[in-house]
Every structure is written in structure tokens, then in C-alpha cells.
Chain A
């Protein structure tokens, strides 16, 4: 018996939750109809993509297709989670449960940072068969571990920055963090390719 990935349960739950939050916000603040309609439409697109992925790719006998379905499912879960947190906090502010109107922005960025850390954590587990690797296996492994650590630390720092820094400072700091991480990773890729080129 094969176990179903957690995205199979989380994706529909989060999409339904997000749609109900958007509907609640629309009801309480009809003047922001465009924003709520856009959020609902986005969630609808996620639901359609998730449905297609589940029906077409997940049932495939091809392992690569099933893996692709899992990764699309996870991406939908993470994107929905960011939207649900943002919509939920906005609804809570509208209902008077939360006083801080900036909290929605803060929380969605904290979740985005956590998602980055989560994805970075899994990065070293994604292995390409040694037979099809174009570089030395040891170097690829070292690079994957390094990338994983870089994204985990960037994601955690990003989340903490949005949690504790004033909003005016959190944005530039988080952008700087992201750009530094990307620069580090791109430098690593270039070095890896350059070493391969030298050895060839």
C-alpha cells in the first residue's frame, strides 16, 4: 500500500479555507471587491491545477511524472498557505480580533520565509542518479548541501526579519538577504561549471 503525500489532504483544506476567508472579507468589506475577487480567482486557479495534477500525473505509472505531481502539489500547498495566512489576518483585523493592520503583511512574509527554509531543507535530498551526473558526484553533493544550508538560513533570517524589524526596515533587509543568497548560489553554480569545463 502506498501512502498518499500530505499535499493531498492539505491542498484542498487550505484552498477551501482561503476561499471562505476571501468570501468573509468580501462580505465585511464590499468596497475591496476587486482584491477579494482576485484572491478567489487565484485560489480557483490553484484548485484547477491541483485537480489536474492529481487526476493526470499522480495516477501515472511513470515515476518522474509522479514526482513532478508531488512537487507541484507542495508548491500549491505553500502558495495557498501564504494566501490563507494573509487573508485570515485581514479578516481578523476586519472583525476586530487583531488591532495591527500591518500584521497581514508581516505574517505572510514570515510564512514565505518559513517556506523558503522548508524548501532549502529538502534540497540536499533531491538526488540525480550518479550515472547521469555531468560533474564529480562529490562536488555536486557538496554544492547541494551548501545550497540547502544557504536557503534554510536565508529563510529563517528572512522570517525573523519580518517578525521583529520595523516594516520600513524589514523590506530592504529581506530583499538584501534574498539577493545575497541568490548571488551565493549562482556563484556556486558558475564555479561548479567552470571546474567541469577545466577538467573536460
Chain B
């Protein structure tokens, strides 16, 4: 459960989960929504996979990510989104913050 809380504590990962609520998406499709580097996104995906919140499935040369959240985890995500809870940032979160600080978000440039 600690891994789930850690995964949900970061706004980027929460956004990834929200996007995956709509439909399964490839790593590229997901990355398009964020102004961060691919390695940083990969780190976020790893954290989500470790927490068993998403599942990766290989389809040809692309990796498709899909949601693997229980109802309780889904409710926790909703709660985290509402209250915007933040915990001690991990490596992926720090990288995201640095990248966002350095690079403008898409559409802002």
C-alpha cells in the first residue's frame, strides 16, 4: 500500500492515471501530454508499475499502458486529486519539477 501512496503522491503520475482512465495509451501518446524527457516519463511509469497501478503490454514495437487499479485505489486517486496531496518527492518527481522549470509546457512557448 505504501507504494500506492508513493505513486499517487506525484501530480504527473496522477495525471498519467487520469489519462489512462479514458483508454489504454502508448508510452508516446502519454508522453505528449507532458513537457518532460522520456527517461523521466519512464521513471514515472516504473513507479506506477511497481505499485501495480498500470500494466504494460507490448504491441509490435510500441508499449501500451493500461490501468490496473482496484476500486479502492481508484477512490484514492480521486481523493488525492481533490486534496492535491503531496509527499516527499522521489527522483522521478524531482526530475519532472526540474524539467518543467527549465522547459515551457507545450502550447506556452
Contact = CB atoms under 8 A, between A and B. Distances in A.
Interface of A: 120-125, 127, 129-131, 137-138, 141, 145, 148-149, 152
Contacts of B55: 127
B71 interface: yes
B23 A148 contact: no
A124 B55 CA distance: 12
A151 to B, nearest CB: 8
Contacts of A122: 70
Given A131-B59, A137-B23, A125 B68 contact: yes
B66 A125 contact: no
Contacts of B22: 138
* Dominant secondary structure at the B interface: mixed
Contacts of B68: 124-125, 127
Nearest to A137: B24
Given A130-B59, A131-B59, A141-B66, A124 B71 contact: yes
Given A137-B24, A138-B22, A124 B66 contact: no
Given A125-B69, A141-B24, 13 more contacts: A121-B70, A121-B72, A122-B70, A124-B74, A125-B52, A125-B70, A127-B55, A130-B59, A131-B59, A137-B24, A141-B66, A141-B67, A148-B74
Nearest to A147: B71
A148 B70 CA distance: 8
A28 to B, nearest CB: 40
B71 to A, nearest CB: 5
A35 B67 CA distance: 46
B4 interface: no
A87 B72 CA distance: 30
B64 interface: yes
Contacts of B50: none
Contacts of A129: 57
A152 B73 CA distance: 12
A27 B55 CA distance: 53
B71 A120 contact: yes
A138 B24 contact: yes
Given A137-B66, A141-B23, A152 B59 contact: no
A187 B71 CA distance: 20
Given A124-B69, A127-B68, A138-B22, A145 B57 contact: no
15 contacts: A120-B71, A121-B72, A124-B68, A124-B74, A125-B68, A127-B55, A127-B66, A127-B68, A131-B59, A137-B24, A141-B24, A145-B21, A145-B71, A148-B70, A149-B71
